[in-house]
Amino acid sequence: MSIHTTIQWTDGTVNPTMGCDGCPLWNRLNKRCYAGKTTRRFGGTNPGLAKNFDVVELAPGRMAMATCWRDLSGTARRDKPWLNDLPRLIFVSDMSDALSQSVTFGYLRQEIIEQVSSELGRRHQWQWLTKRPARMARFSRWLTQQGVDWPTNLWAGTSIMTQSMTKGINHLLNVGDERTIRFLSVEPQWESIDLSQWLPQLDWVIQGGESGAVDHPFDLAWADELFEQCAESGVAYFLKQLGTCVREDGERLRFADRHGGDWSQWPRRLRVRQMPINATTKHRGVRGRHVDADLRRPAFNLAK
């Protein structure tokens, strides 16, 4: 867990579990997941990480510690001005996938739902991201059967990389209720993706290219496409990073930041980092949060 993070769309991170069952980025043939690579390198010496990334471990108590972090409502972030005035945003499960199969719903309720819903936890907004949206939807149904509501300050998100992974979005739409902020992390993006059919039911899209050894260069046309799709549906859009290998019209572009995450180095039209939440109401609905580096784009009305 970390009270500060360089991840552009959040303030801090917390992991109620360590390790993961894997995904297309981490399996027998592919070892590209950042969390997996970091755990391989430092696991066993760093107590914040699993000893073995392939064996999921529980880390009870971390969520409770994160609830104690100071409220950031009304606070300016020097390095992330697009988060200014918002409550503290906390990314749940950046180095793991808490919905890995061996993690019981009882544990998730106790560690995530109860902490997020606690008096201290309600001061923050929690961004839970998974590559297992079907299991997240099952967990949400299980909570309902227990008479427990999905907390309004717990955002539900899933990561996709390809068009074929969009089928998971249908499960995401079954998480929580009409008040739940649902988001997609399209990162690392491997191909052009059309989200039009789901966007009217989503609140936020984060997009990013791949870092490190890249098999799938990021085409700037993909950013233009997704921005336009989001704008048409009134969905907040956030371009996180362009990645290590960036192309436009077949030409390779190079940036001083090797992750392509410094938006001051990007073409001006791409500098869009919007958030799906109103700083005052802390709810979706009237979601006027809009930050654009050069303010060239008119702030479109995010209210639905």
Applying CB under 6 A, the residues found at the interface with ligand SF4 are 20, 22-23, 25-26, 33, 35-36, 96-97, 131
Q: Which amino acid is at 53?
A: F
Q: Which residue number, 20 or 245, has a Cβ lying nearer to ligand SF4?
A: 20
CB of residue 51 vs ligand SF4: minimum separation in angstroms?
Answer: 16
Q: Which residue number, 22 or 121, has a Cβ lying nearer to ligand SF4?
A: 22
Q: Which residue number, 7 or 25, has a Cβ lying nearer to ligand SF4?
A: 25
Distance in angstroms (rounded) separating the CA atoms of residues 202 and 183: 6
Helix (H, G, I), strand (E, B) or coil at 68: coil
CB of residue 2 vs ligand SF4: minimum separation in angstroms?
Answer: 16
CB of residue 63 vs ligand SF4: minimum separation in angstroms?
Answer: 17
Sign of torsion, CA 109 115 121 124? negative
CB of residue 96 vs ligand SF4: minimum separation in angstroms?
Answer: 6
CB of residue 93 vs ligand SF4: minimum separation in angstroms?
Answer: 7
Which helix H or strand E contains 141, and what residues bound it?
A: helix 133-145
Helix (H, G, I), strand (E, B) or coil at 239: strand
Q: Which residue number, 33 or 199, has a Cβ lying nearer to ligand SF4?
A: 33
Q: Which residue number, 96 or 117, has a Cβ lying nearer to ligand SF4?
A: 96
Chain position carrying tokens 């997009």: 207
Burial of 252 (0-12, 13-18, 19+ CB in 10 A): exposed
Distance in angstroms (rounded) separating the CA atoms of residues 271 and 274: 10
CB of residue 151 vs ligand SF4: minimum separation in angstroms?
Answer: 22
Sign of torsion, CA 109 153 171 19? negative
Residue 132 tokens read as: 């297992």
Q: Which residue number, 33 or 156, has a Cβ lying nearer to ligand SF4?
A: 33
